[in-house]
Structure 1
């Protein structure tokens, strides 16, 4: 995996028919490319530095992180529309300032299969890296971080000291001296 490449992933659900797509964003040498897949077909943008800059300027985006954030927030809010045409896909993301539209070209079968293979291994490498470090720092891996639900104030649990009562914590359990059983040898016949 190229360490100068940054990746981000999210799920896009077409609000028209609830079809799910995996959206993958790869930044390499300052150029962001966006791809969508339904696990059998792959569509991808073919931005150059100039065309990406023009696209970002058109939609008032100042950074690649802002671009990624806009795609994630729009797709996470269910504000995405996917329109399939003959050999391309048009992705429209609606948000408060305005809608962002981009056209993605469909890759041929061998190219698409290679992109899917690369995508699968990038995601696996990302998860392996998370497992090894346990450290989530970049926008790339936060997608895989488990969501935590806050259920209320956290109460510290006091460690039980040996001898404390399980039923009434804070009181000591009384230990009785073992008395044993007295056997009488005279009763034997």
Structure 2
């Protein structure tokens, strides 16, 4: 199974953001792809230059590569049709040139990178669920999705409504219809 790691880096000269994908195959070879969502530059283990680059930087995993990029030990720059990675640490700096892919191949590579990202995200989410306590997960899900037991007593017993009390405002009595007041009572004269 191959291991894959993604990171984003801002190119210092232009300020453009790029997504890096570093993949290590089960046979030990590296592949590096860089995209700005329009163009793609790549180098794989068939390039001697990539093998020299990974050896000089002591890269053992894709995580090592992303750590070097984020820590500033490796700089990234686009020059016309080439993208260049340059190590800045150590006494003997090394460079890696990444080739620009043609439009059709770049489109397919971006598609593959998106699927790898989605797989990596879903795998990390699956690992997070598995890492949490099975007891907590069982309690959480059982209370939300299982039906309530029918033979258990309800928590709150409903109060009986007294005759004449209001349904809307149970603490008050219903108002009775007005009977009226006679102001002109003929008996008072």
TM-score computed with the length of structure 2 as normaliser: 0.58
Alpha-carbon distance in structure 1 between the residues aligned to 2:40 and 2:97:
13
Secondary structure (helix, strand or coil) at the match of 2:12 reads coil
**CA shift at 1:81, angstroms?**
3.5
* Number of positions where the alignment pairs a residue of Structure 1 with one of Structure 2: 130
Alpha-carbon distance in structure 2 between the residues aligned to 1:107 and 1:49:
15
Compare 102-111 and 8-17 and name the one that shifted more.
Answer: 8-17
1:94 matched residue in structure 2? 88
Match of 2:111 among 87, 110, 117: 117
Matched, 1:64 2:60: yes
Alpha-carbon distance in structure 2 between the residues aligned to 1:26 and 1:90:
18
Larger gyration radius, structure 1 or structure 2: 2
Structure with more of its chain in helix, by fraction: 2
**CA shift at 1:125, angstroms?**
1.1
User: What do residues 70-122 of structure 1 show as CA deviations (whole Å, max 9, x unaligned)?
Assistant: x3233213455333233221122323565442100001111111111111011
Give 1:123-142 correspondences, 5 Å limit: 123-134=117-128
Give 1:1-189 correspondences, 5 Å limit: 4-28=1-25, 29-48=27-46, 52-57=50-55, 59=56, 61=58, 63-65=59-61, 68-69=63-64, 71-78=65-72, 80-95=74-89, 99-134=93-128
Aligned-residue CA RMSD in angstroms? Answer: 2.8
Contact 1:93 1:101 in 2 (8 A): yes
TM-score computed with the length of structure 1 as normaliser: 0.58
**5+ residue gaps in structure 1?**
138-189
Residue 83 to residue 49, structure 1, CA distance change in 2 (3 Å): closer
Residue 53 to residue 6, structure 1, CA distance change in 2 (3 Å): same
Residue 98 to residue 19, structure 1, CA distance change in 2 (3 Å): farther
Alpha-carbon distance in structure 2 between the residues aligned to 1:125 and 1:108:
25
Contact 1:89 1:103 in 2 (8 A): yes
**CA shift at 1:133, angstroms?**
2.8
